Structure 1
Amino acid sequence: MFRFTDYGEEDAIRLCKELVRIESTDPGSYEGRISEYIYETLRQELGADGVRLCRSEVLTGRRNLLAELPGSSAPAGSGKEEPALVLICHMDTVVAGEGWSEETGGPFSAAERDGRIYGRGSCDMKSGLACALTAFCREAGERRLRQGEKAPEKYRTLRFIASVDEEDFMRGAERVIRDGWVSASDWVMDLEPTDGRIQNCHKGRVWFEAEAEGVTAHASMPEQGTDAILALSYFICALREEVAKLPEDERMGRTTITFGQITGGYRPYVVPDHAKVWIDLRTVPPTDSRMLRELLGRAERAATEKVPGSKFRILLTGDRQSIPPCPKSRLLQSLRQAVREATGEEAVVSLFPGYTDTAVIAGTLGNENCLSYGPGKLRLAHKPNEYVDISDIRRVMRVLRCLLREPLR
């Protein structure tokens, strides 16, 4: 477990390093060790004084964590209570991958060089996780100290959630919703890397698998077979052209497509009778999965015309809607004020190009107070020599202090 000293910036920096050293790759080691580490840290820090601390198993050996400090604004169920502030961070990272330099010490070294912490997850998002956990424990301690005051200050319920599976199918966020850990009225903030910006809208994320079928034949007589790889190649080219024609959103940009994985064939001397591609689309309004199915159908027809006898099976495997900006969000206004107080600057509000736990919550519950703000730069995530600037951790800790100390209206 981690032992805090003063719950300040230095603690958050040390905790970030400790979390990076615990491998939690997905797929790979997953979140078992880091989940236990965080749970024991919370149990040691918070005890049982009015703090709710629980776990929920999402997948075998993979459990979400919740810690909650109850608010004092109004009795629960009175209809007058302020929304809870929820800090949600995922514990898993992508795989370590190749290409790490000796200077950075490898993916789990948490080496500090030139004001940076290196390692897998340092940016996405163990630095944000460290900030949220440190700020939550600091707030718990400060509330205990204020309990004896004659005119105690009112404060909102504060929840810390550590989730699993964000780097895959986001089943951790889905379970958070089913378990009732968040509601449509809560203020929900993840601490993903946002490069100093507040990001309050998301492109959608739609996944398809497309499989082409052909007929095997000897490579010396290809006319006797039907080349599935060739058919799939025409399909990919046609689909890319179709996506390029989709309408652009003024705020969120264009729908993009990535063919992230492809397999097919047996041996170089056999005409392949199968090939498969995994497709990732990041959508902007008005594009949705229904429109994309029509595009895939046109691409399929174009491919089968080029390669007669080929057939396709297309499966929708993921459908996350785009989340439009909500400029009237109360959380957005409060966070902008906290950034202003902590940094002396106005925060830029922009699009988050990926998909996060808060986007799942916003899309499922219709919650307009969901956004992202955390340390690090998203362009460094998932890459070799991933790092986070220590100055970013310091900035986010200052912003969290201002946000958590905001007086209730």
Structure 2
Amino acid sequence: MERKLKVSRRRLLEGVATLAVAAGAGWYAAGRGVFDARTGEPFAPWTAFRGRRGGELAELVRAAVLAASPHNTQPWLFEVHPDRIDVFSDRSRSLGTMDPFLREMHIGLGCAIENLALAAGSMGWAPRVELEAGPLPGSDPEGSRALEGAAPRAIRVASVRIEPGAAASPLVEVIARRHTNRGPYQAQRVPGSALQELSRLSEAGSDGEVVWLEHPDQRESFAAHTLRATETIVRDAAMVRDSDAWFRLAPEAVPSHRDGLTLDVMGLGPLLTAAVKLLPRPSAEQMHDDWLRVTREVHLAGDPAVGVIAVRDRYDLGARLRAGRLWQRMHLWATARGIAMHPLNQVPEVIDRERMLGRAPAMERSFTTALGLGDRQLTFAFRLGFPEREGVCGPRRAAEEVIRAA
């Protein structure tokens, strides 16, 4: 009896110890955001847009803030007037050396403009979009350096005038479901008919053109250039620093910033995401080394369908905004049909970096020749396919935070 009691007591103590460890691990995991269900204020904007007829113009901004943007920087500000909404770039949200001429920033602004215009139709209005155009100040290396610290924070890039009467686009229904999917895609290829439909979404008369890399040699060359560009970026300390500034890996970073890239949107899958959250924050160099590995082993693996948006002048403001509108429209169309999309913009980022540093345009010459773009210039590159896992939403700033006094 005494021996049985000792055994029972030992087991009881072991059980208590196990529960204590489990409770401690659970508390630590909760503190690290392992069980974060992407709820609360940072994610409330994803359900805020209603799009009902007769609503206020500010409702359109609730759709605009759900648009795509580089590194989820959300580089927009809006002024709401009785008959229009003015859209401004917020230069304080620049990616720095990753985007020295604000090309990607303005593509993201084009995405927001597209969401805003589509939402207007669902609310019974006809939007008339007026884009600023022409060479952007600072779009050459000397001008870019001269503008540093001198340019105003906010510069108007477009006005969306609101007039009575319009038909709603079915794309409005998927604005809140569109997410960048950085995870693996299935081997099943996107049908050629879908690629043709996506190409038709380009506006008539626009200089932006979707070029599909349909031949295996083209896709192989695209993959080689993208990997080489990624390697260039991860060896560039300034680019790594400016990119890493937008990673929100600590749990407290999400509610305080409500922007940037979180572990949940990296496409790692739920179990690996939870495991990584338990680890200390990796260095910027390690994060970008991992990005290079994932680019090679996931994003470019299996010969994915890839395309580029080419324009006559990537440094023309109007061309950038129109490219962004096209990308957003394409992404919404694909979302409605279960097709995932993911930007792979390392090549144009390196092209911009070479220009910033005053170097010979080696990457641009090589890519343009290999892909047969002729006199067209690459401004955006992407992959698409049927995802193995659904993409998830990242944090967003509410419309009220980005509407400034008119």
TM-score range, shorter chain: under 0.3
> So what's the TM-score if we normalise by structure 1?
0.24
> So what's the TM-score if we normalise by structure 2?
0.25
Higher relative contact order, structure no. (Cα contacts within 8 Å, ≥ 6 residues apart): 2
Whose helix fraction is larger, Structure 1's or Structure 2's?
2
Whose strand fraction is larger, Structure 1's or Structure 2's?
1
